[in-house]
């Protein structure tokens, strides 16, 4: 869910995504991004990028740099936590004695 919220898919490719801030929240947008949102209140992140042209160097025009890095860091931290929890779960399962039937 976080990946879909903090990245947008480049339409010309199947699996290339651009890291953006946290959606269209005002606290993550620059002045240019807020202007797009003011003109069209229901605008999506993809539509804003389409208006600016899909390129990584255009992203900071719409989202503040700190929010772009914070979104990437949040995704990394959640990935790491998920990896650690799955690893711990499998380690606990490996420690369990197999049940024997008489």
Q: pTM for the whole thing? A: 0.70
Q: What is the pLDDT of residues 34-92, one digit of tens each?
A: 998 999 888 888 888 888 777 777 888 888 999 988 988 998 999 999 999 999 999 99
H helices then E strands: how many in the chain? 5, 2
Domain ranges, ordered by start, for the chain = 2-95
Could you tell me the CA-to-CA distances from 26 to 20, 46, 62, 92 in Å, in that order?
13, 16, 11, 43
> Which 3 state secondary structure label does DSSP give 102?
coil
In this structure, what DSSP letter does residue 11 have? Answer: T
Both tokens of residue 48?
């804003």
Q: What is the pLDDT of residue 90?
A: 93
> Which 3 state secondary structure label does DSSP give 18?
strand
Q: What is the pLDDT of residues 26-45, one digit of tens each?
A: 899 999 999 989 998 888 88
Q: What is the pLDDT of residue 99?
A: 67
């Amino acid at each position: 869910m976080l990946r879909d919220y903090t990245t947008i898919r480049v339409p010309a490719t199947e699996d290339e995504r651009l890291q953006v801030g946290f959606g269209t929240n005002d606290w993550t947008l620059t002045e240019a991004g807020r202007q797009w949102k003011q003109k069209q209140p229901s605008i999506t992140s993809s539509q804003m990028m389409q208006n600016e042209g899909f390129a990584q160097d255009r992203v900071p025009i719409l989202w503040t740099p700190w929010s772009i890095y914070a979104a990437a860091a949040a995704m990394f931290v959640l990935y790491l936590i998920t990896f650690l929890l799955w690893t711990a779960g499998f380690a606990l399962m490996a420690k369990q004695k197999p049940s024997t039937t008489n």
